[in-house]
Structure 1
Amino acid sequence: MKIKKKLIFIFTLLILSGCATPPPKNPDNICEIFFEHRDWYKASKKMNEKWGTPIHVPLAMMYQESSFKHNAAPPMQYFWFIPIGRASDAYGYAQAKTMTWDDYQRETGNSWASRSDFDDAIDFMGWFTHKTQKVNGVSKWDAYAQYLNYHEGWGGYKNKSYNKKPWLIKVSRTVDARSKKYAAQLRGCKENLDSSWLWRLFFA
């Protein structure tokens, strides 16, 4: 009986892994990302309407965190050749840590949310940026400061822990630049994306 249960479990994992959404072919272009994964645009619009965070900000942060891989995780650490665990328990599209993810689930009531699901991950990032504005007064449009909060936590940002990490400041500037690039790209294809989405809603 135990062997049968194990076989069912393994088979289920294989099915789920086969259904996993692959990363976009051109992650440097937000229009191509959404034309390839149209359901991601729908989820991102929903996040924007719910939390007020512009789509290009969490998308730029997500690119930095996971390269849009559903099962992204920090690299394994080793003592000589013996694996001793990962640097943190961050996981999924948003690289959300377990404790913060638990807070999100509790506060939003989204108890079935999964870090490997894009819809849940983008909603989590909307929630986080919304709280960052409330806690530290950072604009939802400020990808640079939002990313510093995302990486260091609200307390760390308040204590300016990032000043001791020049590499992080450099990465945050990269996220900010990508966010502005995404924003410009999205302005050029938003009408097309919206019309395509509406057409599918009524006629597909």
Structure 2
Amino acid sequence: MKRVFFALALTATVAGCAKTPTQTGNACAVLDQKDGFFTNWQRSAKKAERAYGIPMPIILATMYTESGFRQRAKPPRKKLLGFIPWKRPSTAYGYSQAVNGTWDQYRSKSGKNSASRTSFSDAAQFIGWYHRESVRKNGVAPNDAYNLYLNYHMGHGAYSRNGGRSNSAVATQGAQRMQTMATRYDTQLRNCGRR
């Protein structure tokens, strides 16, 4: 009987860890919902901040912009003939929406071969690493959410070739959304004592 109860409690706890947080517009509420024994998003985001020098609000705002904090997020499928579900436009997946090639590159360069795009902690580390590469390769300031996002969306090479300008309305809107959220998250985290 004790084993059955323990198994049910463990299943409920693990299932709760994977649930997408509500109130994603409030960083404090997001972290409150993910502050448990098995998962602690604040600790994971702070660890990524310390490792890569990218502010925690920017790491969180990247996840908000890319996946809405959905663990298994994927780009929507294209439609064939306007209604038949077809291929996805990219291999982006998980919290960070990292594509296969970039994720493999991160795992190889960081030595984190078992990192998973569905792990919040691993995704936070990836985002910190990628943004630090933007700082190193393209001279973006670590707290420049707008240009960090353009690097993230366009890739380092395209950002450099285009002089930091995007011809894509999607990238520009995403960068504006991320800049707004990073500023909001920073204020919220300071107000609730988590910054």
What is the TM-score with the length of structure 1 in the denominator?
A: 0.81
Q: Is the CA contact 2:77–2:87 (under 8 Å) kept in the aligned structure 1? A: yes
Task: Report the equivalent of 1:198.
Answer: none
CA deviation vs aligned residue, 1:124-163 (integer Å, no higher than 9, x gap): 0000011110000111100000000000000111122743
Q: Is the CA contact 2:49–2:55 (under 8 Å) kept in the aligned structure 1? A: yes
Matched, 1:141 2:143: yes
Q: Is the CA contact 1:152–1:162 (under 8 Å) kept in the aligned structure 2? A: no
Q: Is the CA contact 1:56–1:183 (under 8 Å) kept in the aligned structure 2? A: yes
Q: Is the CA contact 1:58–1:122 (under 8 Å) kept in the aligned structure 2? A: yes
Q: Distance in 2 between matches of 1:33 and 1:158?
A: 34
Task: Report the equivalent of 1:34.
Answer: 31
Q: Is the CA contact 1:156–1:162 (under 8 Å) kept in the aligned structure 2? A: no
1:120 aligned residue (113, 116, 122)? 122
Aligned length: 178
Matched, 1:21 2:24: no
Q: Is the CA contact 1:133–1:140 (under 8 Å) kept in the aligned structure 2? A: yes
SS in 1 for 2:18: coil
Q: Distance in 2 between matches of 1:129 and 1:59?
A: 12
Deviation at 1:18, TM superposition (A): 4.3
Q: Is the CA contact 2:54–2:132 (under 8 Å) kept in the aligned structure 1? A: yes
Structure 2 residue runs without a partner (length 5+): 1-10
SS in 1 for 2:115: coil
CA deviation vs aligned residue, 1:48-78 (integer Å, no higher than 9, x gap): 1111110000211110110000000001122
Q: Distance in 2 between matches of 1:162 and 1:88?
A: 22
Task: Report the equivalent of 1:155.
Answer: 157
Distance 1:163 1:129, change over 3 A: closer
Deviates more, 1:153-162 or 1:17-26: 17-26
Task: Report the equivalent of 2:69.
Answer: 68
**One-letter identity of the residue aligned with 1:177:** T
Deviation at 1:35, TM superposition (A): 1.2
Task: Report the equivalent of 2:99.
Answer: 97
Task: Report the equivalent of 1:52.
Answer: 53
Alignment identity in percent? 35
Give the number of the structure whose residues are more often helix, by fraction.
1
SS in 1 for 2:117: coil
Task: Report the equivalent of 1:166.
Answer: 169
**Higher Rg of the two aligned structures:** 1
Deviation at 1:97, TM superposition (A): 0.3
Deviation at 1:19, TM superposition (A): 5.9
CA deviation vs aligned residue, 1:151-202 (integer Å, no higher than 9, x gap): 0000111122743223421321121011001111111123xx48xxxxxxxx
Q: Distance in 2 between matches of 1:53 and 1:94?
A: 15
Q: Is the CA contact 1:76–1:85 (under 8 Å) kept in the aligned structure 2? A: yes
**One-letter identity of the residue aligned with 1:23:** T
Q: Distance in 2 between matches of 1:168 and 1:156?
A: 12
Deviation at 1:99, TM superposition (A): 0.2
Distance 1:82 1:20, change over 3 A: farther
Q: Distance in 1 between matches of 2:167 and 2:133?
A: 24
Deviation at 1:117, TM superposition (A): 0.6
Task: Report the equivalent of 1:178.
Answer: 181
